[in-house]
Amino acid sequence: MELSKKLAKALNDQIKKEYEAAYVYNGMRIYLDDAGLKGASSWMTKQTQEELEHAEAFIQHVKSLDGKVELGKVEAQKTDYADLLEVLETAYEHEQMITKSISEILDLAIEEKEYATENFLRKFVDEQVEEEESFRDLIDLVKFVGDDKASLLKIDSGLGRR
Per-residue pLDDT at 1 exceeds 70: no
In angstroms, how far is the first alpha carbon of the chain from the final one? Answer: 39
Half-sphere exposure of 68 (CA within 13 A, CB side): 6
Q: What is the per-residue pLDDT across 32-76, written as a single tens digit (0 to 9) for each?
A: 999 999 999 999 999 999 999 999 999 999 999 999 999 999 999
Per-residue pLDDT at 20 exceeds 70: yes
Q: What is the per-residue pLDDT across 86-123, written as a single tens digit (0 to 9) for each?
A: 999 999 999 999 999 999 999 999 999 999 999 999 99
Domain borders along the chain are 5-160
pTM: 0.94
Q: Rounded to an integer, what distance in angstroms lies between the CA atom of residue 109 and that of residue 7?
A: 7
Fold of 5-160: Ferritin (1.20.1260)
Q: What is the mean pLDDT of the chain?
A: 96
